[in-house]
Amino acid sequence: MSSSFMIATEAEGEEGLTALDELTTPVLVDPQFFFQPYRQRVRLGDGSYRGIGAPVAEWRFPLLSLAERNQLATFCEGASARVYIATPDNTGSFLHYLAVMLLPESEPANKAGLIQGYVVRFEQMEEQPTDG
How does pLDDT run across 8-20, given as a tens digit for each residue?
999 999 999 999 9
Domain assignment present for 119: no
Give the chain's domain count: 1
Domain assignment present for 90: yes
Q: Domain residues for 35?
A: 6-56+66-103
Domain assignment present for 115: no
Domain assignment present for 87: yes
Label the pairing between strands 110-111 and 56-65: unpaired
Which pLDDT does position 51 carry in this prediction?
81
How does pLDDT run across 35-91, given as a tens digit for each residue?
999 888 889 899 898 888 899 999 999 999 999 999 999 999 889 999 999 999 999
Compute the distance between CA of residue 29 and CA of residue 53 in angstroms, rounded to an integer: 30
Q: Which ranges of 3-130 would DSSP assign to H, the alpha helix?
A: 66-73
Domain assignment present for 85: yes
This prediction's pTM: 0.91
Domain assignment present for 110: no
Confidence of residue 107 (pLDDT cuts 50, 70, 90): confident
Flag whether pLDDT at 131 surpasses 80: no
Burial label for 34, CB within 10 Å (0-12, 13-18, 19+), is: middle
Compute the distance between CA of residue 116 and CA of residue 53 in angstroms, rounded to an integer: 30
